[in-house]
C-alpha cells in the first residue's frame, strides 16, 4: 500500500442457484485465497450468496433466512483478514426486498448499498422482486447477525474511507447502475471516491463483452478512478441465460486485468490510488464536491497494516511509446502530422519559403529534416527551399557525414557544407583557449558556431532555423545555451528521445524508397553523440549516454515526474521493477540522482525555449505545460532519494 498501491481482486465463485450454504462455502474459500495473496479489496458478483437467477425463489422465506446465516459466517471469517470484501445478497427490510452489496471488514458490515437502477425488460425482471431504494441513507439493525448486525449504514450514497490510507475511498455500483446515462459512481467520484466496485450479473450475448469492456474502461477514465467489475459466472447459467464471468479491473482508462470469458476465476491487480489523486489534482475541471452536500455519508475504518504492495502489473520501460505495434504506428503517424502541421503554420504565417537545418546524421536532426520535408509538402513549397547544412568539425565522423549528405539528396533538399574548423580555431585564439584542452569551452564553441552559421544562412535566404533538439535533452539541459538550444521553431521539442527513435523507424518502414530506408536504418544504428570531441580510429568517441546516462531511464523518470508528480522514491521503485534484469538497482539510483540534479539546475535553459508543437501529454514549454522557477531548490527531492539509499 506504500506509494498509493492497493491490491484488488474481482472474483467469480462457483455457485449453485438457491443453495446458500454451498455458495457461502465458495465465497469463504475465495476470500481466503485472496487474503493469502495480500489482496486488500475483494469484490464478488451481484446476489452471489443466493444466485442472481433465483427469480420467484427470492420470495421464499427459507432462502432469505439462510442468506443471513451465510452472511453471518462470512462476517466471522472476515474478522481474520485485513481485507475489505463486497458480497451481493438479497435483503428484506420494512416490507421491501432489495438487491444489495454488503461492504465487510474485520468481522463487521461497514455498510449495505442497495442497487439503484432496477431493470424490468427483456430477460431481466428484477422489478418483479426488488424495490428501488429511497435516496436517503439510514441506520438499520439486523438482529439475525448478532452484534455485527447493530447500527449498519444503509443507503445508495455511502463512501468507505480508510483513515490510515486516505487515498482509499470506496463506492459501489451494482450492475445496471453502470449502464445508465449517469451512473451513481459519477457523483460518488466527485464526492471523493477513488475506487468503484461493481457487483454484477451480466448475461452474455454476442458482442456484449466488447461493450461491457469499454463501459468499464471509459467509466474509470471519466471518473479518474479505479474500477473493479466482478461478474456472475457459469453457476448462474440456467433456463434462457448464460453468464460468462467477465471480470475486469481498470484504472483511469487503462484495462489492467481481464478474465477470459466462460471460466470462473479470480483476477488481481494493483491500482495506483496515488496516481489517481495526482491526476485529479492537476485537472482544474475535476471539481470535487463536499460528500455531505451530495447526500453522501462517509464511513471510516482502518486497515490493520499499511505495508508494501507487491507489484504484479506491468510498467512499460518506454512509457512514451505504445507497446502494441499497431498503436505505435498510429501514434507515430499522428505525431509526424502534428509536427509538420505546426511548422507549416509557422512557415506560412511568416511567409518563409526557406528553412535552414543543421544536419549531423544523428537521430534528432534526421527527424527534423523528415518533418520539415513533410511540412514543405503540406504548404506546397519546393523542397529545394530546405537548406540542409552540414558543418563538419573536430568530432565529425565519415559515417554521420555521409548519412547526412545522402539523406538530404534523397529528400530533394538543398545541401550546403560549411566546415567550421578554422572559424572555431580562430575563436579559440580570440578568447585565449588552448585547443588541446577538450573541455566544455572546446565543445560549446563548436555548437555556438554552428548556430551562428545557421542563423546567418537563414537571414540570407529569407528563411528560419529549424530546431532539432528533443525533449529528453531539454529535461537534462543537454544543449548548449544559445547554441543548439536556439532556433525559430523546434519541431522535436516535446518528443522524448525514446520516441524519436520510433518515429524515424516508422518513417523507414513506411517509405517505398529502399535507399532512404537503408540510410534511416543506419542512422538508427548510430550511437547518440553530439560529435564534439575528436573520433577514435574514425569512430565516435563521445557517447552521450556514457556521460548523462541511458535515455530510456531518463525518459522513464521524466514521464512519472511530470505526468503524475511522483516522489523520487516512488519513481525509483517503479524503475527498479520495470527495468529488473536490464539495470541493477544501484545503476538506476545513480542516474536518478543525475536526472534530478540536472533537471533542477538546467531549468534556466527551458525558461527561454523557442516555440514548438506539443505532441503528447507531457511537454516542457515554459508558456504552457511546465512553469518552474529557474532557481528552485532540489533539496527536498534529493533528501527523498538519500533516505531511500539507506535501504539499498
- 40, 46, 161, 258: the catalytic one is 46
Q: Respond yes or no: is residue 115 known to be catalytic.
A: yes
Q: Read off the DSSP letter of residue 144.
A: G
Phi, psi of 96 (to 5 degrees): -130, 145
Buried-state track 342-354, b at ≥16 Cβ within 10 A, e below 16: bbbebbeeeebbb
Q: 443: closest CA among 544, 539, 536, 361? A: 544
Neighbours of 213 (CB within 10 A): 16
Beta bridge partners of 109: 104
Cβ contact 247:15 at 8 Å: no
Q: What is the C-alpha separation between 218 and 196, in angstroms, rounded? A: 13
Give the separation between CA 290 and CA 648, rounded to whole angstroms: 42
Q: Catalytic site residue 214?
A: no
Closest by CA position to 103, among listed 118, 94, 114, 93: 114
424: enclosing H helix or E strand: helix 421-431
Residues linked to residue 196 through DSSP beta bridges, in sequence order = 171, 227
Q: Which among 115, 161, 374, 605 is annotated as catalytic?
A: 115
379, 348 Cβ separation under 8 angstroms: yes
Going by the DSSP 8-state scheme, the letter that residue 131 receives in this structure is P
Residue from 48, 54, 175, 352 carrying the catalytic annotation? 175
Q: Where are any strands of DSSP class E within 252-381?
A: 254-258, 266-272, 297-301, 354-358
Euclidean distance between CA atoms 366 and 374, whole angstroms: 13
* Residue where the block lists cell 527495468: 579
Annotated catalytic, 608?
A: no
- The residues that are catalytic are 46, 115, 175
Amino acid at each position: 500500500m506504500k506509494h498509493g498501491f492497493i491490491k484488488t481482486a474481482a472474483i467469480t465463485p462457483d455457485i449453485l442457484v438457491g443453495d446458500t450454504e454451498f455458495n457461502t462455502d465458495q465465497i469463504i474459500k475465495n476470500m481466503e485465497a485472496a487474503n493469502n495473496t495480500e489482496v486488500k479489496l475483494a469484490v464478488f458478483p451481484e446476489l452471489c450468496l443466493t444466485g442472481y437467477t433465483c427469480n420467484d425463489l427470492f420470495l421464499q422465506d427459507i432462502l432469505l433466512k439462510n442468506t443471513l446465516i451465510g452472511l453471518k459466517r462470512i462476517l466471522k471469517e472476515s474478522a481474520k483478514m485485513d481485507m475489505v470484501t463486497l458480497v451481493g445478497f438479497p435483503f428484506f427490510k420494512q416490507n421491501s426486498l432489495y438487491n444489495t452489496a454488503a461492504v465487510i471488514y474485520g468481522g463487521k458490515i461497514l455498510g449495505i448499498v442497495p442497487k439503484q437502477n432496477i431493470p424490468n425488460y427483456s430477460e431481466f425482471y428484477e422489478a418483479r422482486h426488488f424495490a428501488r431504494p429511497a435516496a436517503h441513507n439510514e441506520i438499520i439493525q439486523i438482529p439475525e447477525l448478532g452484534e455485527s448486525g447493530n447500527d449498519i449504514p444503509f443507503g445508495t450514497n455511502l463512501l468507505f474511507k480508510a483513515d490510515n490510507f486516505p487515498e482509499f475511498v470506496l463506492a459501489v455500483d451494482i450492475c445496471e447502475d453502470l449502464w445508465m446515462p449517469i451512473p451513481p459512481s459519477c457523483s460518488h467520484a466527485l464526492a471523493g471516491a477513488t475506487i468503484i466496485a461493481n457487483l454484477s450479473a451480466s448475461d452474455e450475448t454476442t458482442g456484449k463483452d466488447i461493450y461491457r469492456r469499454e463501459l468499464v474502461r471509459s467509466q474509470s477514465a471519466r471518473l479518474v478512478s479505479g474500477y473493479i467489475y466482478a461478474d456472475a459466472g457459469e453457476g448462474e447459467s440456467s433456463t434462457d441465460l448464460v453468464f460468462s464471468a467477465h471480470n475486469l479491473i481498470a484504472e483511469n482508462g487503462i484495462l489492467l486485468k481481464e478474465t477470459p470469458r466462460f471460466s470462473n476465476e479470480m483476477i488481481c491487480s494493483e491500482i495506483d490510488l496515488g496516481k489517481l489523486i495526482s491526476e485529479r489534482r492537476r485537472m482544474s475541471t475535476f471539481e470535487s464536491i463536499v460528500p455531505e452536500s451530495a447526500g453522501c455519508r462517509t464511513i471510516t475504518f482502518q486497515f490493520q497494516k499499511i505495508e508494501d504492495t507487491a507489484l504484479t502489473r506491468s510498467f512499460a520501460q518506454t512509457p512514451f511509446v505504445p507497446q502494441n505495434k499497431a498503436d505505435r504506428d498510429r501514434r507515430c503517424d499522428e505525431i509526424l502530422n502534428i509536427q509538420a502541421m505546426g511548422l507549416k503554420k509557422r512557415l506560412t504565417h511568416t511567409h518563409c519559403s526557406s528553412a535552414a537545418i543543421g544536419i549531423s546524421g544523428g537521430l534528432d536532426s534526421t527527424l527534423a529534416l523528415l518533418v520539415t520535408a513533410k511540412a514543405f509538402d503540406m504548404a506546397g513549397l519546393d523542397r529545394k527551399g530546405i537548406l540542409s547544412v552540414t558543418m563538419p568539425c573536430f568530432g565529425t565522423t565519415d559515417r554521420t557525414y555521409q548519412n547526412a549528405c545522402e539523406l538530404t539528396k534523397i529528400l530533394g533538399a538543398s545541401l550546403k557544407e560549411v566546415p567550421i574548423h578554422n572559424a572555431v580555431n580562430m575563436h579559440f585564439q580570440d578568447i585565449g583557449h588552448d585547443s588541446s584542452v577538450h573541455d566544455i569551452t572546446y565543445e560549446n564553441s563548436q555548437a555556438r558556431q554552428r548556430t551562428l552559421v545557421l542563423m546567418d544562412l537563414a537571414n540570407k535566404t529569407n528563411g528560419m532555423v529549424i530546431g532539432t533538439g528533443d525533449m529528453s535533452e531539454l529535461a537534462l539541459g543537454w544543449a548548449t545555451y544559445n547554441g543548439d538550444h536556439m532556433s525559430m521553431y523546434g519541431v522535436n521539442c516535446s518528443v522524448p528521445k525514446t520516441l524519436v527513435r520510433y518515429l524515424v523507424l516508422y518513417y523507414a518502414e513506411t517509405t517505398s524508397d529502399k535507399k532512404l530506408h537503408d540510410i534511416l536504418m543506419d542512422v538508427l544504428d548510430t550511437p547518440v553523440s553530439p560529435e564534439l570531441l575528436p573520433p577514435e580510429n574514425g569512430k565516435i568517441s563521445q557517447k552521450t549516454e556514457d556521460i548523462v546516462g541511458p535515455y530510456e531511464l531518463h525518459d522513464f523518470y521524466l514521464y512519472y515526474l511530470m505526468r503524475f508528480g511522483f516522489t523520487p522514491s516512488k519513481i525509483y521503485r517503479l524503475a527498479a521493477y520495470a527495468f529488473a534484469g536490464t539495470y541493477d538497482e544501484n545503476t538506476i539510483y545513480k542516474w536518478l540522482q543525475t536526472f534530478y540534479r540536472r533537471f533542477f539546475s538546467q531549468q534556466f535553459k527551458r525558461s527561454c525555449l523557442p516555440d514548438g508543437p506539443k505532441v503528447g501529454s507531457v511537454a516542457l514549454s515554459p508558456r504552457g505545460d511546465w512553469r518552474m522557477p529557474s532557481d528552485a531548490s532540489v533539496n527536498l527531492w534529493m533528501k527523498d532519494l538519500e533516505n531511500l539509499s539507506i535501504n539499498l
